[in-house]
Amino acid sequence: DISWFTDSMREGRPVAVETRHLIQVCDILPTFPGGPTATVSQYACQRRTTTENNNKIFTEAFEVLAESYEFNEIEGPCLAFRRAGSVLKSLTFEVRSLGDTQDLPCLGEHTKELIEEILRYGRSFEVEKILSDERYQTLKLFTSVFGVGPKTAEKWYRRGLRSFSDVLTEPSIQLNRMQQTGFLHYEDISRAVSKAEARALGNIIDEAVHAITLDAVISLTGGFRRGKEFGHDVDFIVTTPELGRERSLLPDVTDRLEQQGILLYCDYQASTFDMSKLPCHRFEAMDHFAKCFLILRLEASKVEGGLNSTEEDSRGWRAVRVDLVSPPMDRYAFALLGWTGSRQFERDLRRFARLERRMLLDNHILYDKTKKEFLAATTEKDIFAHLGLEYIEPWQRNA
């Protein structure tokens, strides 16, 4: 416990630090603006960001603006607000005055105005205007359905549709299978998944994978690996040391889940991974590994402490979104690093690699453009070391 130190720093009092505390103190010192070594990196991969967010009031406002820019396809300001939010999330103190933000990177005019407004009035009028905007509200509603992206939401909005019943009663709209499932399980899928539910699903996937091949390896990834209490889905990496076998692993797993009667939806994407086509120089939203986007039926009896459901729900089960991805074992470290997130942490890892190291990083490889060679890694630590970065634990990647 070094709260004696953080309190003194916050109040600007000089402190005497004992040698035995020095390492802990050095670790958090850069997060104090105006402190002697006040340097917060512009890269999320050089910051430690836990799930404890001391500046929610600001970061939630930034996210509304970022989302609104995203709906209008204005990329620059959208990213700027996400970056600014990510910097504030990493702070071990709460911003109480504009002066506190003086030496922080990634905060522009617009973000500072917003911070000032929130400090003064406890809220932002710009944010409130967006929240009450019909177009924002409608796009937010439509994109909350599994299978409905910003493009589809926009199309529906422009046709004058404003509610789910508008969409579902419009005869000219043909929902695809994913969207039909999205509406069918809307209540369940939009309710957060708890850690206990994630653990229960881990047991189910673990059992299924090992029934197929004994040497299977399964790892929890995504937000739950970063220590989050709740998530919108549960992400797993499943693979086997037998190279090539991973390509057919997922169909076997989903067949088994189907036999168990718990497979409510399955969108399987076969592997298109080809090492000879790498490195890829353009940005790709998805990696090439075999993967499947599932909706599973989770029984209450399998969850310690019961389901995260409403009290009047007496079905005894709920639908949950699960993602499985299956890289070949020699790509495991890259896939794990990529799928652990957060999205902002990943973005900055790639940006750091490109701009500071002349390297290309994605979910498959790390490539050194100067040496023109691929860098091998069996663990995440190997990748951080190649990049010349201090290792950041998964629970410190909530950027």
In the complex, the residues that contact ligand DCT under the rule CB under 6 A are: 222-223, 228, 231-233, 235, 285-286, 338-339, 341-343, 346, 363
Q: Which residues contact 137 (CB under 8 A, 6 or more apart)?
A: 131
- 182 contact, one of Mg ion, ligand DCT, none, CB 5-8 Å limit per kind: none
Taking the complex as a whole, the smallest distance from the CB of residue 390 to ligand DCT amounts, in Å, to 21
Among candidate residues 133, 323, 330, 368, the one labeled active-site is 323
Taking the complex as a whole, the smallest distance from the CB of residue 179 to Mg ion amounts, in Å, to 20
- 339 contact, one of Mg ion, ligand DCT, none, CB 5-8 Å limit per kind: ligand DCT
Taking the complex as a whole, the smallest distance from the CB of residue 233 to Mg ion amounts, in Å, to 5
16 or 285: CB nearest ligand DCT: 285
| Residue in 216, 215, 181, 222 with CA at minimum distance from that of residue 198 | 222
Q: Which residues contact 16 (CB under 8 A, 6 or more apart)?
A: none
User: Please, are residues 295 and 265 in contact by the beta-carbon 8 Å criterion?
Assistant: yes
- 228 contact, one of ligand DCT, Mg ion, none, CB 5-8 Å limit per kind: ligand DCT
Among candidate residues 100, 188, 235, 287, the one labeled active-site is 235
Catalytic residue status for 323: yes
Query: Left (φ > 0), alpha (ψ -120 to 50) or beta: where does 161 sit?
Result: beta
Angstrom CA distances, 33 to 98, 105, 111, stand at 11, 10, 17
Catalytic residue status for 235: yes
The number of residues making up the chain comes to: 399
Q: Taking each helix axis as running N to C, give the angle between helix 75-89 and helix 109-121, from 0 to 180 degrees, rounded to the nearest 10.
A: 50
Catalytic residue status for 133: no
32 or 224: CB nearest Mg ion: 224
Residue given tokens 């796009």 in the structure block: 139
Interaction site with Mg ion (CB under 5 A): 222-223, 231, 233, 235
DSSP strand pairing (263-269 vs 317-326): unpaired
Taking the complex as a whole, the smallest distance from the CB of residue 284 to ligand DCT amounts, in Å, to 9
Catalytic residues: 233, 235, 323
